[in-house]
Structure 1
Amino acid sequence: MTTPTTDLRDDAEKLLRELAGPTATLREDQWTAIEALVVKRARALVVQRTGWGKSAVYFISAMLLRARGFGPTVIVSPLLALMRNQVAAAERAGVRAATINSGNVTEWQDIHEQVSAGEIDVLLVSPERLNNPDFRDQVLPSLAADAGLVVVDEAHCVSDWGHDFRPDYRRIRTLVAELGEDVPVLATTATANDRVVADVAAQLGVGATGESHGGSDTLVLRGTLDRESLYLSVLKLDDATERAAWLGQHLADLPGSGIIYALTVSAARDLADLLTDQGHRVSAYTGQTDPAEREALEQALLNNEVKALVATSALGMGFDKPDLGFVIHVGAPSSPIAYYQQVGRAGRATERAEVVLLPGPEDQRIWSYFASVAFPREHLVRKVIDELDQTKPLSTPALEPLVELNRTRLEMVLKVLDVDGAVKRVRGGWIATGEPWTYDEERYSRLDEARQAEQDAMLEYQRIDTCRMEFLRRQLDDPGMDGANSKCERCDNCTGNHRSSTVDAQSVQATRSRLDRPGFDLPARKQWPTGMSKLGVGLSGKIADGPDTGRVLGRLSDLGWGQRLRALLDGPDGEVPDAVITACIQVLKAWDWAERPTSVLALESPTHPILTTSLAARLAQVGRLDDLGVLRLRPDHPPVSAANSAYRVAGLVDAWEVPDFTAVRGPVLLVDALTDTGWTMTMAARAVRAAGADAVLPLALASPK
């Protein structure tokens, strides 16, 4: 017998109070979604702003469906680590929840058994798990057959038009396709424009225009994105030091605790160190932060034990602190949609939250770098397919030396090809399926155009003198826009209250002195890439004849030295500036080497030969070192451009004309203008040591990140 709708709503309201507190009441759209999923067994797409209560919809629906005798709810989310507080709240409300992710491998078997025994109400899985061979073949079929509800959280990740596309998410299509006709599907996101909504709807079969599925009407709930608590402003300071100084000077004045976003890991670390030195309670939070430390840092921010976390985009979707008082960006994200998603973390339960953008001229360079690691050209992708056998699996490390792609891009390509059906992940690695595959050149070109349009829009956001919130809402095709009357009357442009760009001169000088401390370690490569023998190179295992730990003057993304080094490397080749020599001397003085170098050798640079050789000559003069000249490339040796480690190493074998160094006593200081992967320094040092040098100490002016 069907439960009357009025009784069902009473049950839903009761569950909400257990989840969110005794005063909580359902929004009408929340109830509409719950009713569609539980009563109509429909498929729904919910696009609502951060803090609206999307998680309440799926946790309440899960419990109502379980009470009606349906199977467990499967939630696919990329944010399992950041859903801790939501899961904890659900468990307090009686929801039996479990997660399967890379952080709890030892618990997987027990969880599989609990699912089979019907002891789990909600199972949260990462999209990566959907193609784990054991999970895909042994657990997923039973889940697809018995699931009471399937939830795709952060559904914009399905679309490569979205700001955070993830190839693994495309596998959800397979899961949805294998569901029974009466299994409801809920897709949720806070950041999707019309194009992303249509793409997500098409891929998940939830329907964006009200067509039917399984005899039931689909539902699209798309609310306004305006946030009355957000006070947006932009402050332009072209000098990175002044931006950092402004933040140090004004951070204590911002309300409550918040998030300071930086575009790169190194910028986040540098800014956190700077603010800490100035007495602010902040910590860095990046994708390289240990998972256990991430959890502790999130809790510290939730408890207001820190003024701010200085974070990359690693702290974003899924982090829930309703009273977050501010979001500052030191550097602009590459799209208004990504920007809105991040600022939406603030002001969910406060009357006012400050949102400040401090863009820099270097932002576009960083955008270009991230764009450069996008989906590769067709011939590189074809090479991946061609190298795979249809019966004998090949692991990713074994495949890497056979194709001219680094590990990160290779893994992305394999995931896309897997979704497209050209390859398949099995125990032991990857195999080719033999299925025909087409490189969608038109789609990738249109995607490049869309990305460029987003970057142009982000630059326009910085220039406009009209309402900033209205601009962001239009970028996201906000259905709540009401024509000419959509001004927020809160942002700096609407109110005329623009933040002062004046920074105390002493603060700027102190900040510059701190940021100008040059130098960081360049760790020596320890292990040769796997599979070198397949390229005809007899190198494997540990590297025993490479350089010692080296030093780099600065990163191109640094807040301090970044701007100067970028200008130096982007400009015409010329003599090394005195300021750079002075900084290099400071780096050498602070170097904790086992033995001081006795000589200096410049690596021949195809792009900056005068800069590199003058650097070596000046250091030899100042440090009273023997100037060994230039380690020149063989004239007949082809240039090496491969980013893939194995190919790069193979290309650098016998690359230099190496003189006899047996008469050299003591370590050789090996200098170059720019170091990226570290393999050039490794192979050059190996050649110098083979020619008789005792040890090699690498020194570079810059690294990209």
Structure 2
Amino acid sequence: MTHADLADPADLRTSADAVLARLVSDHTGAARLREDQWLAIEALVAHRRRALVVQRTGWGKSAVYFVATSLLRQRGAGPTVIVSPLLALMRNQVDAAARAGIRARTINSSNQEEWDAVKAEVASGDVDVLLVSPERLNNPDFRDQVLPELSAATGLLVVDEAHCISDWGHDFRPDYRRLRTMLAELPADVPVLATTATANTRVTADVAEQLGTGAGTDALVLRGPLDRESLSLGVLRLPDAATRLAWLADHIGELPGSGIVYTLTVAAAEEVTAYLRQCGHTVASYTGRTENAERQQAEDDLLANRVKALVATSALGMGFDKPDLGFVVHLGSPSSPIAYYQQVGRAGRGVEHAEVLLLPGREDEAIWQYFASVGFPSEDLVRRTLDVLARSDRPLSLPALEPLVDLRRTRLETMLKVLDVDGAVRRVKGGWTATGRPWVYDAERYARVARQREVEQQAMREYALSTGCRMEFLRRQLDDSEAVPCGRCDNCAGSRFSDKVSDSALDTARGELGRPGVEVEPRRMWPTGMAAVGIPLKGRIPEGEQTFPGRALGRLSDIGWGNRLRPMLTPQAPDVPVPDDVADAVVTVLADWAKGPGGWASGAPDAPARPVGVVTVASRTRPQLIGSLGTRIAGIGRMPLLGSVEYTPDGTGARPSRSNSAQRVRALHEAFTVPAPLAAALAAADGPVLLVDDLSDTGWTLAVAARLLRKSGARGVFPLVLAVQG
């Protein structure tokens, strides 16, 4: 086909439909582009414009960039570069491209051994589409060596899931903001396409403004109605977590096809998976802790309907493409209606009917509050970080920064990425450096974003309680001007599911959630960089100073004991003696621990000695709770209560909020002491001790206290806490 053929609009449309036919060759029916699909393709191919497409999931946004790629490549354009946020999305896009005869390759964190080969294929013209993760854009080697050449050769730039660009969006990712630099450096005639299904008016305007960077013209915005005709939305308000689990066990088999059960935390996903398997259902867990190989196997199993459901966190979100996905159930409410719309959009893309159910829980808001508490840091922390970088004569890695900056690693890294986009810091080989450029803390914007999050949370409360059309509600949250009652949801057409559960399922759920006890892994390595703040600790913690593996009653993030413990351990909770049900559960944990693998009563040849005493950790916030717990354990176990690890006279015992490991150890290093009577009791004790505390957040309080006990003569330390944070 000649250049002149493609220049004619009618011929261009015919060619576009022909590519679409190859792309959807595994589907029935005639292949013809939607009008807005064609408008986007025409803008990209014929007019080399920049376009933002905001259309519902399943509308066919990927068809736009694959068809445009094919036509542009026929015109001699360079490869299409697709910035894509998730590995699952990349895998689906590579498969879809192959159906249209488009050669697609990817550069991401899971295929580093292929990078050199992929770069060579791109350079030789053998690749039509290169998919990269946003994180690649600021990898020093990729940014400095690959990106300039790629920008010069790119025939089409595609920004998938473009709402991630905007910090008003539900899934803002600082790495996406690097695209502003790439956009500014692209030749003027290189078309750009941004796509998303989840952008309200504010996010759309923000993305469109960024999309116009360096273009000299406004981006074309194509926004369509966001109804999903195949989805039937519903809400079931059940009294507690056990009832919600029992409902799943009783009714998941009634849900059409295979689907996804979303949870808000990793702990909940693991609990639900274990319970449903116990009830005979074929399910798999999919979370941020799942290894890449296991994730891909889980995706493949769901695609092939070998499992009824994946029990997933938001790690399974954007881009997972299973056209016949029959249901999405949320065990717990997301904090944003926009995020909720995006997740339920996984269902019903290629079938006439799919079920969407929300089962909200009373723990939801506590989880929302936790995630809201880790927003952009205060100006003081940001300035302190910039000052540390400015005073350093070398780049500083994240581990090197942690002893000097009071932020956990993930939050520190996110902050640095934002500062990088703003030009205040730069990522180089070996870490981060300050640029010295002026930087302004946009407190007003961060406050507006925080207020917007609160508005979104309130909207989700209203969604769960609404008596109006649920799809209309979600569409209005996305500023869809065409939103009307759907006629399909439980409020429009009546509930399709009973809230009844069987006694057997409920008993099993209560037993599963009521089973106390999770392992507390000992800290084995000191944080790096402690010498920089005058703390002489480094490397592996000596065996003679470590704790044994410990136990907790539960995790604060789970839906079993977490729901019981969370109200007791909030900063606002009154300090009271340990409740009887909690003390009884701790006794059960101790009994199971003693008899289990590695327990002192297990009978194993290398089993440790039985604890011979109880030591508590001093507390300024919950002394009654911890003291009474230690007393109860000592009495039941017929062991002496030896005393407490106390604060030093000048030790505040204050821990940095959400701090990283290095900061935590720095705060704790000289905060505790072993009183002389306790040291004498330890020296006389003929065995290890139980170290009792209320909450283990990072594990460093237990590690530091245990080190002091071991150095004071304790023959071993078994940590026992009510809850762990994770």
Q: Give TM-score, length-normalised by structure 2.
A: 0.94
Per the TM alignment, residue 604 of structure 1 is displaced from its structure 2 partner at its CA by 1.4
Structure 1 ranges of 4+ moved more than 6 A: none
- Identify which of 507, 510, 521 aligns with 1:512: 510
Contact 2:208 2:219 in 1 (8 A): no
What SS does the corresponding residue of 1:241 show, helix, strand or coil? Answer: helix
| Residue in 2 that maps onto 1:683 | 704
Which of 630, 642, 654 aligns to 2:670? It is: 654
Read off the aligned partner of 1:69 and give its amino acid letter.
Answer: G
Deviations 1:283-304 (A, max 9, x none): 1100110011100100100111
For 1:100-139, list aligned pairs within 5 A. Answer: 100-139=107-146
Distance 1:206 1:454 in 2: 29
Letter in 1 for 2:303: L
Alignment-derived partner of residue 287 in structure 1: 288
In the alignment, which residue of structure 2 is the partner of 1:210?
A: none
Q: Is the 8 A contact 1:271 1:559 kept in 2?
A: no
CA apart distance, 1:25 = 2.6
Per-residue deviation, 1:59: 1.2
Q: Which residue matches 2:604?
A: none
Mapping of 1:410-449 within 5 angstroms?
410-449=412-451
**Would the aligned equivalents of 1:158 and 1:169 in 2 still touch at CA under 8 Å?**
yes
Q: Find out whether 1:79 has 2:86 as its counterpart.
A: yes
Where do 1:573-584 residues align within 5 Å?
573-584=575-586
Q: How does 1:19-418 map to 2 (within 5 A)?
A: 19-21=23-25, 23=29, 24-205=31-212, 213=215, 218-389=219-390, 392-418=394-420
Q: Matched residues in 2 for 1:444 and 1:540: separation?
A: 37
Partner of 1:548: 548
RMSD: 1.5
Q: Structure 1 residue 611 and structure 2 residue 625: aligned?
A: yes
Decide which moves more: 563-572 or 354-363.
563-572
Structure 1 contact 80–124 (Cα < 8 Å) conserved = no
2:494 corresponds to which residue? 496
Contact 1:12 1:64 in 2 (8 A): yes
- Residue 266 of structure 1 aligns with an amino acid whose one-letter code is A
Which has the higher mean CA deviation after the structures are superposed, 549-558 or 434-443?
A: 549-558
**What is the distance in 2 between the residues matched to 1:65 and 1:214?**
22
Q: 2:531 aligns with which of 530, 533, 548?
A: 533
1:621 aligns with 2:635: yes
Over residues 645-670 of structure 1, what are the superposed CA-to-partner deviations in whole Å (9 max), with x where a residue is unaligned?
Answer: 11210111132230312112211100
Could you state the TM-score of these two structures normalised by the residue count of structure 1? 0.96
**1:444-455 paired onto structure 2 within 5 Å:** 444-455=446-457
* SS across alignment from 2:276: helix
Partner of 2:652: 638
How far is the alpha carbon of 1:391 from its aligned partner? 6.0
Gap regions ≥5 residues in structure 1: 208-212
Distance in 2 (alpha carbons) for counterparts of 1:523 and 1:43: 52
Structure 1 pair 510–522 and aligned structure 2 pair: CA distance change class (3 A): same
Bigger CA drift: 246-255 or 414-423?
246-255
Deviation of 1:143 (Å):
1.4
Unpaired runs of 5+ residues, structure 2, are 600-606
Return the offset for 1:214.
Answer: 5.3
**Whole-angstrom distance in 1 between the partners of 2:474 and 2:612:** 59
CA distance in 2, matches of 1:494, 1:575: 50
**Equivalent residue letter for 2:343:** Q
What's the offset of the Cα at 1:279? 0.4
User: Secondary structure at the residue paired with 2:110?
Assistant: helix
Secondary structure of 2:342's aligned partner: helix
The farther-off stretch of 40-49 and 585-594 is: 585-594
| Aligned pairs (5 A) from 1:581-592 | 581-591=583-593, 592=598
Change (3 A) 1:214 1:377: closer
Q: Aligned with 2:479: secondary structure?
A: coil
In the alignment, which residue of structure 2 is the partner of 1:466? Answer: 468
The one-letter amino acid of 1:340's match is: Y
Q: Which moved more, 1:3-12 or 1:188-197?
A: 3-12
| Distance (Å, rounded) in 2 between the aligned partners of 1:131 and 1:85 | 24
C-alpha displacement of 1:352: 1.3
Alignment partner of 1:551: what SS? strand
1:227-284 per-position Cα deviation (integer Å, ceiling 9, x unaligned)? 1111111111231111111111111111111000000000000001000000011111
Amino acid at match of 1:510: T
Q: Report if the CA contact (8 A) 1:546-1:685 is conserved.
A: yes
Q: Partners of 1:613 and 1:328 in 2: how far apart?
A: 43
One-letter code aligned to 2:196: T
Within-5 A mapping of 1:555-566: 555-566=555-566
- Paired residues in the alignment total 695
Q: Is the 8 A contact 2:673 2:708 kept in 1?
A: no
Distance 2:99 2:236 in 1: 43
Matched to 1:666, the amino acid is: G
Deviations 1:637-693 (A, max 9, x none): 123222121121011113223031211221110011111100000000001111110
Partner of 2:602: none
Q: How does 1:470-481 map to 2 (within 5 A)?
A: 470-481=472-483
Instruction: Note if contact 2:52-2:220 (Cα within 8 Å) is conserved in structure 1.
Output: yes
CA change 1:91–1:499 in 2 (3 A) is closer
Give, in whole Å, the separation in 2 of the partners of 1:57 and 1:238: 46
Distance 2:721 2:260 in 1: 33
**1:93, distance to aligned residue in structure 2 (A):** 2.4
Kindly indicate whether the alpha-carbon contact (under 8 Å) linking 2:615 and 2:690 is maintained by their aligned counterparts in 1.
Answer: yes
Post-superposition Cα deviations, 1:178-225, rounded to whole Å, max 9, x if no partner, equal 011111000000100000001111122179xxxxx557x742111111
Cα distance, 1:629 vs. partner? 2.5
Tell me by how many angstroms 1:610 deviates.
1.2
* Contact 1:302–1:321, Cα closer than 8 Å, also in 2: yes
Q: Conserved in 1, the CA contact under 8 Å of 2:655 and 2:664?
A: yes
Task: Report the residue type matching 1:296 in the other structure.
Answer: Q
Is the 8 Å Cα contact of residues 640 and 648 (structure 1) preserved in structure 2?
Answer: no
Q: Is the 8 A contact 1:80 1:125 kept in 2?
A: no
| AA aligned opposite 2:298 | L
Q: Tell me if 1:11 matches 2:15.
A: yes
Separation of aligned partners in 1, 2:637 and 2:652: 35
Q: What one-letter code is carried by the residue in structure 2 that aligns with 1:51?
A: G
1:294-336 deviations in whole A, cap 9, x for unaligned?
0010010011110100000000100001111110001000010
SS in 2 for 1:225: coil
Tell me the amino acid that sits aligned with residue 103 of structure 2. Answer: R
Deviates more, 1:226-235 or 1:381-390: 381-390
SS at match of 2:102: coil
Residues 526 and 543, structure 1, Cα contact 8 Å, conserved in 2? yes
Q: Distance in 2 between matches of 1:120 and 1:352?
A: 38
Is the 1:156–1:192 Cα contact (8 Å) retained in structure 2? yes
Instruction: Measure, in 2, the Cα distance between the counterparts of 1:539 and 1:221.
Output: 58
